[in-house]
Amino acid sequence: MTKNIVFATCLAQPAMQESDAVAARALEARGVVVTAAPWNGDQAVFERADAVIIRSTWDYQKTPDAFAGWLQSLDDGRPVFNPPAIMRANMSKRYLLDLAAKGAPLPPTRGVEAEVGAIIAAMDEMGLEEAVVKPEFGATGSGLSLVRREDEEGLVAAAAKMAMPGLVQALVPEIMVRGETSFMFIGGGFTHAVTKRPKSGEIRCQAEYGGASALASPPEWAIAEARRILGLIPGAPLYARVDGVVLDGAMRLMEVELIEPELFFTYAPDVASRFADALIERL
């Protein structure tokens, strides 16, 4: 019997992303019917699906409660990837503090309210003159600011830009030169890596901010460290992306993306076949 799988997108960008289209073609080659539908649109398509794959729900940070409720509605025994419980735990960036407590190499980080005084207090506690400030719920660098302790105007703007509780984190300056490496995992196994470099004067690596990406060959120790970090998270995600800055013999963790990460199948089309096989095996 033919399986019908829905790739969840969003009303802001309802079409399937290019990388996901590569994965869809791999599934279709195996007799699966794949469609794309916004998570915050007509729910009938999800109700009829044999499985739901969360792929480009890239507006959820604007309505996190609604998105969490939607994930809860999917948690009724049907195949959903990643599992809703794993994704709900990954929504708030405060999961990074839990990972740090378990031994993940997170830069010095504190949770704060979106208030100038709270940001300053956190910076003082960590001995920082410069820091990255970002909201608890965010995607593609939204709400992120680079602030300096003595720049009151910049601090006020950063707090307003956060618009919600969030994190104050020590800047990893190497990200501006070395960039950020994304380690992709399918079914727990490492598949490929991509390095994303920001444009000059920027710390955000996403393409919408002028960043550039390229297939990477990270050292074995870095792959092992990314795998160790992923192992600190309960559950068995079908797909995962560990983002970090690879230094000389060390890594600084930026994110562990378990909801809707870009998986860069366009850089490694053969990995899309592994994704399709791993998905079908779990259905």
From 67, 82, 97, the end of a domain falls on 82
CATH number assigned to the domain comprising residue 59: 3.40.50
> Hey, how many other C-beta atoms are within 10 angstroms of the C-beta on 150?
9
* C-beta of residue 30 within 8 angstroms of C-beta of residue 20: no
Could you tell me which residues are beta bridge partners of residue 197? Answer: 212
In a domain, 94, yes or no: no
Q: Are 15 and 35 in the same domain?
A: yes
Picking from 216, 171, 196, 203, the residue whose alpha carbon sits closest to that of residue 257 is 196
Q: Are 55 and 135 in the same domain?
A: no
Distances (CA, A) of 61 to 49, 58, 139, 209: 25, 7, 7, 18
What integer pLDDT is reported at residue 2 of this predicted model? 80
CATH number assigned to the domain comprising residue 266: 3.30.470.20
CATH number assigned to the domain comprising residue 162: 3.30.1490.20
Instruction: Report how far residue 121's alpha carbon sits from residue 15's, in angstroms, rounded to the nearest whole number.
Output: 43
Instruction: Report how far residue 280's alpha carbon sits from residue 283's, in angstroms, rounded to the nearest whole number.
Output: 5
From 29, 63, 82, the end of a domain falls on 82
Picking from 181, 210, 212, 207, the residue whose alpha carbon sits closest to that of residue 195 is 181
Q: Are 163 and 186 in the same domain?
A: no
Picking from 247, 261, 253, 193, the residue whose alpha carbon sits closest to that of residue 228 is 253
CA dihedral 271, 8, 33, 19 (to 10 degrees): -30
Q: Are 166 and 198 in the same domain?
A: no
* C-beta of residue 98 within 8 angstroms of C-beta of residue 89: no
pTM (2 d.p.): 0.94
In a domain, 197, yes or no: yes
Q: What are the residue ranges of helices labelled H in the chain?
A: 18-28, 44-48, 64-74, 84-91, 95-101, 116-126, 152-162, 220-231, 269-282
Picking from 114, 243, 267, 113, the residue whose alpha carbon sits closest to that of residue 172 is 243
Taken in order 79, 81, 86, 90, the sign of the CA dihedral is negative
Backbone angles phi, psi at 118, to 5 degrees: -70, -40
Number of residues written out for the chain: 283
In a domain, 92, yes or no: no
Q: What are the CB-based long-range contacts (under 8 Å, 24+) for 188-193?
A: 188/230, 188/236, 188/237, 189/274, 190/223, 190/226, 190/227, 191/268, 191/271, 191/274, 192/264, 192/267, 192/268, 192/271, 193/217, 193/218, 193/223
Angle (nearest 5°) at CA 279 between 274 and 283: 150
- The domain containing residue 137 runs over which residues? 109-171
What integer pLDDT is reported at residue 206 of this predicted model? 67
Instruction: Report how far residue 266's alpha carbon sits from residue 62's, in angstroms, rounded to the nearest whole number.
Output: 28
* C-beta of residue 22 within 8 angstroms of C-beta of residue 272: yes
As averages over each run of 10 residues, the pLDDT of the chain (283 residues) reads 91 95 97 97 94 95 94 92 96 96 97 96 97 86 86 94 93 89 97 86 62 88 98 96 95 96 95 96 91
> Hey, how many other C-beta atoms are within 10 angstroms of the C-beta on 240?
26
Q: What is the separation, in whole angstroms, between the first and last Cα of the chain?
A: 12
